[in-house]
Amino acid sequence: MDIGVLLPTGTAQWGAADDPRELIAFGRYAERSGFSSLFANDSLISPRIEALTMLAALAPVTETVTLGTAALMPFLRRPIQAAQSLASIDLLSGG
């Protein structure tokens, strides 16, 4: 059975005690723990790490998990920019 995990990007606030780079460690730990996919989420409700940036940070440090977006709001990005970002993440992750 394949099980994925949603990255807690909303918990990486911008306070002095928080380090958003811990999300990379979280993703690597999830991969080592046997999860098959990691998802990042867009939101306008709360501050969070931008979904495609989070996936780009995880792409070179993960090997077996599938990276994806749980929700990607198309009105936040121009289509060409979104396509270039997604294609870049695909290349960085090795497919």
Q: What is the mean pLDDT of the chain?
A: 88
Instruction: Say if pTM beats, i.e. exceeds, 0.95.
Output: no
| 36-49 burial: b if 16+ Cβ within 10 Å, else e | ebbbbbbeeeeebb
**pLDDT more than 90, % of the chain:** 56
| pLDDT tens string 25-54 | 999 999 999 999 999 988 888 778 889 999
CA 83 to chain centre: 16
Q: How many domains does the chain have?
A: 1
Which domain covers residue 62, as residue numbers? 4-92
**More confidently predicted of 46 and 83:** 83
* pLDDT recorded at residue 9: 84
* pLDDT recorded at residue 8: 87
**How crowded is the C-beta side of 32, counted as CA atoms within 13 Å?**
7
Closest CA to 7 of 45, 53, 54, 46: 54
